Amino acid sequence: MKRALDVSVSVLLLVLCSPILLVIIVAIRLQSPGAAIFRQIRVGKNGLPFTCYKLRTMYAGTASVPTHEVASKSVTPLGKYLRQFKIDELPQLWNVLTGDMSLVGPRPCLPSQTELVEARRRLGVFAISPGITGLAQVNGVDMSDPDRLAQMDAQYAGTQSLIGDLRLLMATLRGQGVGVDQVIPSRK
């Protein structure tokens, strides 16, 4: 049932959002050089790597590190807006459609986030697909606290249900967990 929901919602949203995505892609390309779609290797189900897609919100050449390790000056002006409202994650609907991700689940981390990867492995979190949104995000827990995040991800993994996923999707659509960006503020 979860996979059917993932496929039907991702197809619907990709079709409905495609004109908006095209406008944003053009705006990104006009604002700064580089590809508009950002590709990054993330850790997925069973601990296997996959390519995660996002709209590029940072200047080309920014180091591939977790968000909480990036200076805010690396974020483009349009990128600040895209990140604030989580619009940059719309291309992940393609990841959901292809089965690399789910609409709801633990946010996929970078392979270099070894503390989080090991905590998730130890707690069995990799038994499920990563998601665009999840319990931790709705509750404001981010990747800068790997142990707390892994524990919340394990809590989700152990109690996930269709009703629970629908509640998390509704909370996300209501803006819960949106607007918090963990980049390092620039010092003036």
pLDDT band at 182 (very low <50, low <70, confident <90, very high): low
| 184 domain residue, yes or no | no
With respect to residue 181, please indicate whether it lies within any of the assigned structural domains. no
Using DSSP's 3-state secondary structure scheme, residue 41 falls into strand
Q: Which of 31, 52, 33, 138 has its CA nearest to residue 95?
A: 52
Condensed to tens digits (0 to 9), the pLDDT of residues 126-138 reads 999 999 999 999 9
Q: What average pLDDT score do residues 141-170 get?
A: 94
For residue 113, what are the domain limits?
2-173
Token pair 């995040």 in the structure block, residue: 149
Q: Where is 37: in which H helix or E strand?
A: strand 37-43
Please state the pTM of the whole predicted model.
Answer: 0.88
Whether 185 maps to a domain, the answer reads no
Question: Confidence band (pLDDT; 50, 70, 90) for 174?
Answer: confident
pLDDT tens digits along 100-122? 999 999 999 999 999 999 999 99
Q: Evaluate whether 31 touches 78 at the Cβ level (below 8 Å).
A: yes
Tally of domains in the chain: 1
187 located within any domain:
no
> Which tens digits make up the pLDDT trace of 3-48?
999 999 999 999 999 999 999 999 999 999 999 999 999 999 999 9
Q: Is the pLDDT of residue 66 over 80?
A: no
At residue 172 the predicted structure's pLDDT band, cuts being 50, 70 and 90, is: confident
What pLDDT does 181 receive?
Answer: 52
On whether residue 179 sits in a domain, the answer given is no
Q: Is residue 50 scored above 80 in pLDDT? A: yes
Neighbours of 178 (CB within 10 A): 18
- On whether residue 102 sits in a domain, the answer given is yes
Above 80 in pLDDT, residue 63?
Answer: no
Is 100 a domain residue?
A: yes
Contacts of 46-52 with C-beta under 8 Å, sequence gap 24+, read 46/126, 46/127, 47/117, 47/121, 47/126, 49/111, 50/95, 50/100, 50/101, 50/108, 51/100, 52/92, 52/95, 52/100, 52/101, 52/108
Both tokens of 104, joined, read 């709801």
pLDDT over threshold 80, residue 187:
no
